[in-house]
Amino acid sequence: MAYDEDLADRIRELLHGRYQVTEKKMFGGLAFLIGGNMAIAASGQGGALVRVDRDEADHLVETTSAEAAVMGGRPMRGWLRVSSGDLRTKRQLEKWVTLGAGYASSLPPKKRSPAAGLAARRHLQT
């Protein structure tokens, strides 16, 4: 299943101008990164994959419709799946974008590898 391009556009619109965001295809979807740290993704499995503070993840699973994300058969602490049905309105989506972006922006920026820089320069030249 391909990721929902409309959802990706809606996420992009909510992040625009608030954060310096890069986009990267990962996990079968389109991830939005802040400082190299993933904040939220339009998931290839449908809905969104949201990165949150590990200490808040259990509470969010208990009090919202989000589920703990499982990757490779392993639960991933601090990663949540939110179904498309729970992202229909701007208000619903904004909640998860804000949580993911807030957490990602609180992390130290990742250093770019020389190979990533070369790939970015090649992309800009095309």
Q: Model-level pTM? A: 0.85
Please, is 29 exposed, middle or buried when counting C-beta atoms within 10 Å of its C-beta (0-12, 13-18, 19+)? buried
**Domain 5-125 coded CATH 1.20.1250.20:** no
* Lowest-pLDDT choice from 26-40, 65-79, 111-125: 111-125
| Position 108 confidence tier, pLDDT thresholds 50, 70, 90 | very high
Task: Please give the backbone phi and psi of residue 17, each rounded to the nearest 5 degrees, phi first.
Answer: 80, -15
Domain boundaries, the chain: 5-125
Quote the CA–CA distance of 24 and 21 in Å, as a whole number: 10
14, 94 contact by CB (below 8 A): yes
| Position 126 confidence tier, pLDDT thresholds 50, 70, 90 | very low
To the nearest 10 degrees (0 to 180), the angle between helices 90-106 and 5-15 is 60
Length of the chain: 126
